[in-house]
């Protein structure tokens, strides 16, 4: 703070004359004036003007506290003389809106004017001096991050802060969250130049005018029938099926079933632990009783996993089933009408990826009686029909039409094709031939060229039963053929020699035949009183085979014996199909109209070890073992194929029970 007229009272020890000497040489020694400075309260500080006009400010202790001006004027520039200090007794303060000047220049001007014009009365007069600050120069301006609660945007800011707090709380529980404190500086914008090819803009689709209602419907239909959309829908459908049937498919593939963990609170976890403890106590109390009375349901059993069925197959009988040789998850099923063979049939390809709808559907003009996949070309499916037609379909194509058809062949069958099979010419060789047996009494081999055609391997003749020779009658063989042909019902090729096969006939006989040589019929096995529905070589004991018939019986045969070794009969019903177990030479499965039966010859030759009744909707018609699972497939007359899991079915080894021949010999059959 400055004193009157920029002067400071003399220091201690100096008189009034000394103070006057500081004011100027022309003033009288006894001339004096008092000074006051208002800056909140009266100040005790003084100001001295040097010999060169510079103003110096001293505090009460005599220290130089002169402030340095922020503005340094150009010494060569002319300084206008302005009165920056008000000496009027009526004006108590300076107008803050007036431009402020440098204090050193103003005080110097006052000093020079005071030397020239001040009188004695003016020197004695009290003068008030007010100091004011210069304009503020902003060197750095950072916007405030604080908003007043009374501001208009206060509500919006509070809402944003609340959302940010919730987001921060939610991130703390995440395993990817890591708390760090950083300060991000907004870098200065930079320009970066680079070279590139000229960017050209072209209009690929011209402006489309407004479409009519018919055009919109046509466009929607095009989208719905597009191949890309259908493929996407198939993928989505398979994903849903995998989610629905995941536990069943895991059991089928013999892999652990994934169980989703149940997330519970601490209170629920404590309650669950208490419940488990109570259940354990109850089990311990019931354990002695269980030991005294063992469970009645112990032993082999079947558990149904799922069924292959849909609206298209409902009401049709399952006539034949076959696995794909390359893809063990692909199953071909033939369907025909249960009552009439003349109605239309279906050949469907089912996949484990979707048990609720077939992957391929081939509609046939007549009932399908037989199906089989090729080994050399797994995409080819051979289909036999009730009108004698043989067709080959390509399962890779979604077309319903057959790839090849026997309709134009002059040698086509005139009776139902009851069974067909792709047979390897030599073991280990992928060269194969398509063999068929038909109700017209012919066994044919088909060859695939530009068209489908065949030639007869043999014709099955009806055989005359043994009679007493009449007088004068020539001696003839008991198996001399007559002119009428016998309808062929089934066949099975030897597992080690593909030239030898068994052929079952409608008259109840089984012929052992050869594809090469003059003697086509090597022997005839008589034992059934009705049509032979199936014959099956034993895959392990290759000299044994089974046969089933409409006479309610199952017969076990040896190749060298023309009379049956064993006869199995449990119920009075047609036996439609039989299959040897793939892992045992002593176990086979049979299906009749009422139930499915499991026979284990190492356990009993008089009754099955296990049986399961058919479903109420229809009668069982066919059977097939799964290739890569401990499962059994059962087809029925209602159009469904059930997949059943085998539980606790003992598979005896050869070391435990010996060969099948030893079992039969011990029973006194040989």
pLDDT, tens digit, 9 for 90 and up, residues 528-566: 999 999 999 998 888 999 999 999 999 999 999 899 999
* Amino acid 197: pLDDT: 82
Residue 228 pLDDT exceeds 50: yes
* CB-neighbour burial class of residue 587 (10 A; exposed 0-12, middle 13-18, buried 19+): buried
Residue 585 is predicted with a pLDDT of 85
CA 62 to chain centre: 90
Please name which of 386, 378, 460, 396 lies closest in space to residue 420, comparing C-alpha atoms.
Answer: 386
Q: Which residue spans within 14-152 are E strands per DSSP?
A: 35-37, 46-49, 55-58, 127-129
Q: Which residues of 362-387 are buried (b: 16+ CB within 10 A; e: fewer)?
A: bebebbbbbbbbbbebeebbbbbbbb
| Confidence category of residue 655, pLDDT binned at 50, 70, 90 | low
In the predicted model, is pLDDT for residue 78 greater than 80?
no
Neighbours of 33 (CB within 10 A): 19
pLDDT mean over 333-339: 86
Q: Name 579's bridge partners.
A: 589
CA distance 279 to 282: 5
User: How far is Cα 523 from Cα 557, in angstroms, rounded to an integer?
Assistant: 13
Structure tokens at 400: 């319903």
With beta carbons less than 8 A apart as the criterion, state whether 643 and 627 touch. no
In angstroms, rounded to a whole number, what is the distance separating the alpha carbons of residues 480 and 477?
A: 5
How many other CB atoms are there within 10 angstroms of residue 611's CB atom? 18
Task: Using pLDDT thresholds of 50, 70 and 90, give the confidence band for residue 224.
Answer: confident
**What tokens appear for 561 in the block?**
């014996």
Question: CA 310 to CA 494: how far, in whole Å?
Answer: 36
Alpha-carbon distance of 581 to 298, in angstroms, equals: 21
Residue 359's pLDDT is 92
Which uninterrupted H or E stretch holds 618?
none
Residue whose token pair is 């802060």:
161
Provide the b/e sequence for 522-534 (b: ≥16 CB within 10 Å): eebbbbbeebbbb
Taking the C-alpha atoms of residue 642 and residue 306, their distance in angstroms, rounded to an integer, is 6
Name the β-bridge partners of 304.
644
Alpha-carbon distances, residue 646 vs 303, 570, 587, 596 (angstroms): 7, 21, 13, 13
pLDDT bracket for residue 287 (50, 70, 90): very low
The lowest-confidence range among 21-25, 211-215, 514-518, 638-642 is 21-25
Task: Look over the chain and give the mean of its residue pLDDT values, rounded to a whole number.
Answer: 77
Q: What confidence score (pLDDT) does residue 192 get?
A: 79
The upper half-sphere exposure of residue 100, i.e. CA atoms within 13 Å in the direction of its Cβ, equals 16
Residue 262 sits at φ, ψ, to 5 deg, of -95, 120
Find how far residue 289's CA is from the centre of its chain.
47
User: pLDDT confidence of 86, banded at 50, 70, 90?
Assistant: very low
Question: Which distant-in-sequence residues (6+ apart) come within 8 Å of 401 by Cβ?
Answer: none
Would you say residue 27 has pLDDT above 60? no
φ and ψ of 647, to 5 deg: -120, 130
- Residues 350 and 399 sit within 8 Å (Cβ to Cβ): no
Number of neighbouring beta carbons within 10 Å of residue 317 = 22
Distance in angstroms (rounded) separating the CA atoms of residues 388 and 395:
22
> The whole model's pTM is what?
0.61
CA distance 334 to 321: 6
Give per-residue pLDDT as tens, 412-460. 999 999 999 999 877 666 688 999 999 999 999 998 888 888 999 999 8
**pLDDT at residue 657, as a whole number:** 45
How many Cα atoms sit within 13 Å of 201 on the Cβ side?
0
Segment 98-105 shows an average pLDDT of 48
Going by C-alpha positions, the residue among 608, 602, 621 that lies closest to residue 569 is: 608
Please tell me the predicted confidence (pLDDT) of residue 211.
59
Spatial distance between the Cα atoms of 502 and 490, rounded to a whole number of angstroms = 8
Q: Check residue 554 and give its pLDDT.
A: 95
Gyration radius (Cα) of the chain, Å: 56
Nearby residues of 240 by Cβ (< 8 Å), 6 or more positions away: none
Q: Which carries the bigger pLDDT value, residue 589 or residue 294?
A: 589
Calculate the dihedral angle through the C-alpha atoms of 486, 488, 492, 498, rounding to the nearest 10 degrees: 70
Gap between the Cα atoms of 272 and 264, Å rounded: 9
Report the alpha-carbon distance of residue 603 to residue 585 in Å, rounded.
13
Range 629-634 average pLDDT:
91
Residue with the bigger pLDDT between 134 and 48: it is: 134
In the beta sheet, which residues pair with residue 41?
A: none
CA–CA gap between residue 442 and residue 390 (Å, rounded): 14
The tokens 């391997």 sit on which residue? 457
Q: Under a CB-based contact definition with an 8 Å cutoff, are residues 633 and 332 in contact?
A: no
What's the mean pLDDT in 485-507?
A: 92
| Assigned token pair, 186 | 């907004």
> Residue 465's closest CA among 483, 484, 480, 485?
480
Residue position matching structure tokens 């006479």: 551
**What distance in Å separates the CA atoms of residue 335 and residue 368, rounded to the nearest whole number?**
5
Question: What is d(CA 260, CA 241) in angstroms, rounded to the nearest whole number?
Answer: 18
Q: Which two tokens stand for residue 357?
A: 């709808």
Measured distance CA(578)–CA(554) in Å, rounded: 9
Between 46-50, 231-235, 265-269, 537-541, the lowest mean confidence (pLDDT) is in 46-50
The pLDDT assigned to 341 comes to 61
* DSSP SS3 for 602: coil
5 DSSP 8-state letter: G
- Residue 8's pLDDT is what? 44
Provide mean pLDDT across the span 254-267. Answer: 70
**pLDDT above 80 (res 163):** yes
Yes or no: say if 19 and 9 are a contact pair by the CB < 8 Å rule: yes
For residue 188, give Cα distances in angstroms to 127, 184, 185. Answer: 55, 12, 9
Length of the chain (residues): 670
């Amino acid at each position: 703070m400055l004193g009157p007229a920029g002067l400071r009272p003399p220091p201690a020890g100096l008189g009034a004359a000394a103070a006057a000497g500081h004011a100027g040489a022309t003033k009288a020694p006894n001339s004096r004036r008092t000074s006051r400075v208002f800056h909140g309260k009266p100040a005790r500080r003084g100001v001295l003007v040097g010999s060169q006009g510079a103003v110096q400010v001293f505090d009460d202790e005599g220290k130089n506290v002169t402030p340095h001006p922020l503005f340094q004027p150009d010494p060569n520039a002319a300084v206008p003389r302005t009165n920056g200090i008000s000496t009027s007794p009526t004006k108590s303060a300076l107008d803050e809106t007036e431009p402020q000047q440098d204090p050193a220049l103003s005080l110097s001007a006052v000093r020079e004017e005071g030397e020239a014009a001040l009188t004695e009365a003016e020197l004695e007069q009290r003068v008030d001096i007010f100091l004011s600050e210069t304009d503020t120069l902003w060197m750095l301006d950072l916007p405030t991050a604080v908003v007043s609660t009374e501001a208009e945007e206060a509500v919006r800011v509070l809402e944003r802060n609340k959302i940010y707090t919730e987001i921060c709380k939610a991130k703390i529980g995440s395993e990817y969250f890591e708390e760090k404190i950083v300060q991000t500086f907004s870098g200065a914008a930079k320009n970066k130049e680079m070279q590139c090819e000229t960017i050209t803009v072209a209009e690929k689709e011209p402006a489309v005018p407004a479409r009519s209602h018919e055009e919109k419907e046509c466009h929607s239909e095009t989208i719905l029938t597009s191949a890309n959309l259908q493929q996407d829908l198939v993928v989505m459908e398979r994903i849903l099926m995998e989610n629905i049937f995941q536990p069943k498919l895991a059991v089928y593939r013999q892999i652990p079933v994934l169980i989703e963990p149940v997330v519970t609170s601490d209170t629920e976890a404590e309650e669950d632990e208490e419940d488990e403890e109570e259940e354990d106590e109850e089990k311990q109390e019931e354990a002695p009783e269980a030991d005294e009375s063992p469970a009645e349901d112990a032993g082999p059993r079947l558990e149904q996993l799922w069924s292959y069925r849909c609206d298209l197959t409902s009401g049709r009988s399952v006539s034949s089933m076959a696995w794909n040789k390359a893809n063990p998850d692909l199953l071909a099923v033939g369907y025909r009408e249960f009552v009439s063979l003349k109605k239309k049939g279906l050949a469907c390809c089912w996949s484990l990826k979707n048990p609720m709808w077939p992957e391929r559907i081939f509609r046939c003009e007549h009932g399908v009686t037989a199906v089989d996949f090729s080994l050399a070309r797994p995409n080819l499916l051979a289909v036999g029909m009730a009108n004698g037609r043989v067709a080959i379909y390509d399962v890779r194509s979604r077309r319903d039409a057959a790839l090849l058809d026997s309709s134009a062949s002059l040698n086509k069958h005139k009776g139902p094709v009851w069974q067909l099979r792709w047979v390897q010419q030599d073991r280990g060789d992928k060269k194969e031939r398509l063999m068929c047996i038909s109700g017209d009494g012919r066994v044919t081999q088909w060859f695939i060229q530009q068209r489908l055609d065949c030639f007869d391997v043999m014709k099955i003749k009806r055989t005359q039963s043994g009679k007493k020779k009449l007088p004068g009658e020539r001696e003839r063989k008991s198996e001399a053929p007559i002119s009428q042909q016998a309808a062929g019902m089934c066949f099975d090729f030897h597992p080690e020699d593909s030239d030898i096969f068994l052929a079952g006939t409608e008259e109840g006989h089984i012929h052992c035949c050869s594809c090469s040589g003059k003697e086509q019929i090597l022997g005839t096995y008589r034992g059934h009183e009705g049509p032979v529905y199936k014959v099956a070589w034993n895959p392990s004991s290759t000299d044994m085979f089974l046969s089933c018939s409409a006479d309610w019986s199952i017969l076990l045969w040896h190749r060298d014996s023309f009379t049956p070794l064993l006869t199995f009969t449990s119920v009075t019903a047609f036996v439609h199909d039989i299959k040897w177990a793939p892992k045992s030479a002593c176990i086979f499965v049979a299906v009749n109209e009422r139930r499915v039966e499991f026979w284990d010859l190492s356990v009993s030759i008089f009754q099955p070890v296990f049986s399961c009744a058919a479903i109420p909707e229809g009668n069982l018609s066919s059977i097939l073992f799964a290739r890569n699972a401990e499962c059994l497939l059962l087809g029925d007359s209602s159009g469904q194929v059930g997949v059943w899991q085998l539980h606790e079915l003992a598979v005896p080894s050869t070391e435990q029970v010996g060969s099948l021949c030893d079992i039969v010999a011990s029973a006194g059959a040989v």
